[in-house]
Amino acid sequence: MDARTAALEIMNAAIESADPYAAVRRSLRVAGDRLMVSGKELPLSGRVYLLAFGKAACAMARAAAEILGERIEEGVIVTKYGYAEECPKTERLRVIEAGHPVPDENSLLGGRFGLELAEKVGENDVLLVLISGGGSSLFLLPERGISLDDKIRTNELLLRSGARIYEINTVRKHISAVKGGKLAKRVRETVVSLILSDVVGDPLEAIASGPTVKDPTTFKDAHRILRLYGVWDKLPESVRRHVELGLEGKVEETLKEDLPNVHNFVVGSNTLACESALAKAKELGYNPLLLTTTLEGEAREIALAIGSIVQEIARYDRPVPRPAVLIAGGEWTVTIEGEAGLGGPNQEFTLSIARKIAGLDAVVLAVDTDGTDGPTDAAGGIVDGRTLGLLEKMGVDVEEALRRHDAYRALEKAGALLKTGPTGTNVNSLIIAVVPKGL
C-alpha cells in the first residue's frame, strides 16, 4: 500500500471510531423503569425531553430516539447548516439548522427553544442533553442587554485573536444565559448529558461552553483573556459593560457547585480517535507512534516541530523505525491580524509542513474530524515531499501564502486539499504522518 492510501485509511479509521451514533448506542439503554448510562442506573418513571446541539447532534439524537422511542415527549435539535440529514424524522423533535463558527438568528432560536424545553421538565422527568462540538455557536442565548450582533462581533474577535478554544469558551460562558452550567440551573429534575468532546483534554466545563457543568472560571478570568489577546478595547459596549458588572458582582456568575440531579458523561473524544488510528496503523504493518492527544499551538509552528520528527525518521529511523506512522491529536490555531485569505488551521499546518518535508519520502495530512476546517469546504490538507516543488513550479510563493493565511488556494493548486464532506462527528483535529520503508 502506498503511503498516501495508508494515511487516508488510518484517518478514516480514526473518524469512524468517533461516530456519535455508535457512541450513544454503546452508552445508553433502558431497562424497565431504569435508565442505564455508561454503567450508572438512574430512575426513569416520567417523560424524557431531548435537547441536542452541536455538529453531531443529529446522529446522537437518532441513536437516542431509537433507544427511548415513545418515552420521548418532545425535543429540540440544533445543528450546523447542511448537517440535518441524519436527524430522526418525527414531529416530536424540532430540528433547527444554525450558523457555525459564527452564530446567527437560528442559533438564537435554538437557545430560546432549548431553554423553553428545559423549563417544561416536571416531576420524575428526565432532560437528556446531547452535546457535541460547535455547540457554543449553535446553541446561543446572550445575557440580557447583549444583542445577537454584539455576541457575533465578540465571537469573531475571539476566533481571530489566536486564543485557545478553552479561553474563548471562558468568555462565551460569561456573556451567555445558558452556558457555564446555567442551563442545568433551570432544571430541578434529572439531567443526563452525553458529551462528545472536541476540547483538548476533555474538560467538561469547556465543551460547548459547559451548559450542564459547574464552571471553575470567573468574570476575572474572562476579563484577563480579553485583555491578553487585545480584544477588550474592540468589544461592543454591551459586552464590556456586562463583564464589568460581573467583576463588581452585580450579575450572575456561572455555576460553581455540583448539582446532585445533574449527570455528565463523555462518550467520545480525540483520545479514542487517536487510539483507533494507532490500531489501524499497526494492522497495516507500520510502526506507529502516538505523540500526544493534547497538542495545541500555532498551526505553522507545530508543523515545523512535527516536520522535524518526520525528517529524523526518514534519515535516521528514530524515534521510531520505518515504515513509521506518527499520530497526534489536539486543536491548533491561527492568529490573524488584518485581512486574510482563505483557509483553516489544518490547511495552514499542511502548507507549512510541506516546506519541512520537501524531498522526503513521506506523506502528512491534517484533518478536522468534523469535515470542515475553518470557513471552507475542505477538512484539511495532505502533502508529500514533492508538494513544495510542485507549487514553486506553478509560481506559488508558499511563504507569501502563509503570511496571508491563504493556504486553501495554494493547496488547491497542488491538488492537496482534503475534502471528506460532513463526517457527523467532531473530536478535534488529527495529524497523521506516514514514512514508508523506502528502497
Distances (CA, A) of 150 to 131, 169, 228, 385: 25, 16, 20, 45
Q: Which of 26, 30, 55 is nearest to 45 (CA)?
A: 30
Q: Which of 352, 374, 376, 378 is nearest to 364 (CA)?
A: 352
Domain 19-268 belongs to what topology? Answer: Rossmann fold (3.40.50)
Is the dihedral angle over the CA atoms 80, 230, 347, 208 positive or is it negative?
negative
Domain with CATH 3.40.50.10180 in the chain: 19-268
pLDDT tens, residue by residue, 135-150? 888 999 999 999 999 9
Cα–Cα distance for residue pair 118/193, rounded to 1 Å: 13
Q: Which of 324, 317, 316 is nearest to 281 (CA)?
A: 324
Burial class of residue 165 in the structure, from the number of CB atoms within 10 Å of its CB (0-12 exposed, 13-18 middle, 19+ buried): buried
DSSP 232: G
Cell numbers representing residue 309 in the block: 520528527
Please tell me the predicted confidence (pLDDT) of residue 439: 54
Cα–Cα distance for residue pair 256/205, rounded to 1 Å: 11
Domain with CATH 3.40.1480.10 in the chain: 270-435
Q: Which of 182, 99, 184 is nearest to 148 (CA)?
A: 99
Backbone phi, psi, residue 260, to 5°? -65, -20
Q: Which of 346, 321, 318 is nearest to 333 (CA)?
A: 346
Residue ranges of the chain with pLDDT lower than 50?
A: none
Is the dihedral angle over the CA atoms 263, 267, 270, 275 positive or is it negative?
positive
The CATH number, out of the four listed (3.30.365.10, 3.40.190.80, 3.40.50.960, 3.40.1480.10), of the domain defined by the range 270-435: 3.40.1480.10
Contact indicator for 206, 182 with CB cutoff of 8 Å = no
Contact indicator for 141, 83 with CB cutoff of 8 Å = no
Is the dihedral angle over the CA atoms 215, 221, 223, 229 positive or is it negative?
negative
pLDDT tens, residue by residue, 387-437? 999 999 999 999 999 999 999 999 999 999 999 988 878 899 999 999 999
Please tell me the predicted confidence (pLDDT) of residue 265: 95
Burial class of residue 329 in the structure, from the number of CB atoms within 10 Å of its CB (0-12 exposed, 13-18 middle, 19+ buried): buried
Cα–Cα distance for residue pair 167/230, rounded to 1 Å: 13
Query: What is the DSSP track for 380-420?
Result: EEEEETTHHHHHHHTT--HHHHHHTT-HHHHHHHTT-EE--
CA angle 107, 113, 115 (to 5 degrees): 100
pTM reported for the whole predicted model: 0.79
